[in-house]
Amino acid sequence: MMIKKVTLFYSILVFIPFANSLAQNQITVSPVIGLYLYNSENSLSVMGDENYLINYGFEVSYRNKNLFGNIIQVDYSYSYSSKDTVLIFEIYDPAPFPNPNRFLYTDVSLSFNNLDISINGNLGSIFSFGFGPSFAIVNRSIIVEKVDVNREDFVDRLASFNIGLIGLIDMRIPFSKNIEYWYFYSGLKIRYLHGFFYDEGLRDLSNYNQNFVTANFSIGIGYNF
């Protein structure tokens, strides 16, 4: 129920800038690759000797250059990362048919639905910077794969709501000098997130928390209108 309320909150935040949009709008679409500078999931025993390092995804950005007298930018992004075979369990079947050569393999994954809102400033004609809050719905999955047709995968999924901060610097190079124009986009964004609400169900998460610091690099294309 909490995650559903957060999703509604997301939708309201996304709608606000468009409801008040004026001239000088910019929309950008870009693929994104990210590096985890810190990931609290890496300290869990389920990760074994593996660590989350890289995430991949995309970002859609809307920027209004004269909203309430400020340059306001709203970004939605999705990113995903996974690790296969982080742990291997050996299964011994009971007599009379013991089989010591049967194994279970554990895979893990993380996905982020991010919403970033920033106030931007210009650094010359093509560079800009921005700071602001970040909101994310994070989905973590732990899957123990079945070893034969008589077993089913064990899947543990956890959804959470994270809040944090972002700082960004980006570059926009126009393809023409028209009032409306296409432009090349490149950006670097640092994001910090901390988990506040967890869809814990019957689990005891009193000693569990999520913290993420990522550096995301994007290259894409945008339109000014």
Closest to 172 (Cα-Cα) out of 210, 106, 218, 104: 218
Mean pLDDT (the chain, rounded):
87
Residue 145 has pLDDT above 70, yes or no: yes
pLDDT computed for residue 52 by the predictor? 97
- With beta carbons less than 8 A apart as the criterion, state whether 195 and 211 touch: yes
What pTM, to 2 d.p., does this model score? Answer: 0.83
Distance from C-alpha of 146 to C-alpha of 144, rounded to nearest angstrom: 7
The contacts of residue 62 (CB under 8 Å, 6+ apart) are 17, 18, 25, 26, 27, 73, 74, 75
**Top-confidence residue, 89 or 6:** 89
Q: In the predicted model, what is the mean pLDDT of residues 28-55?
A: 96
pLDDT computed for residue 2 by the predictor? 53
CATH code of the domain containing 142: 2.40.160.20
Q: What is the pLDDT of residues 157-210, one digit of tens each?
A: 999 999 999 999 999 999 999 999 999 999 999 999 999 999 988 788 888 999
Report the domain count for the chain.
Answer: 1
Residue 119 has pLDDT above 60, yes or no: yes
Q: In the predicted model, what is the mean pLDDT of residues 45-73?
A: 92
CA 49 from chain centre, in angstroms, equals 23
Residue 9 has pLDDT above 90, yes or no: no
Q: What is the pLDDT of residues 68-111, one digit of tens each?
A: 778 999 999 999 999 998 988 776 666 555 555 567 789 999 99
Q: Is 10 helix (H, G, I), strand (E, B) or coil?
A: helix
Residue 99, domain extent: 2-224
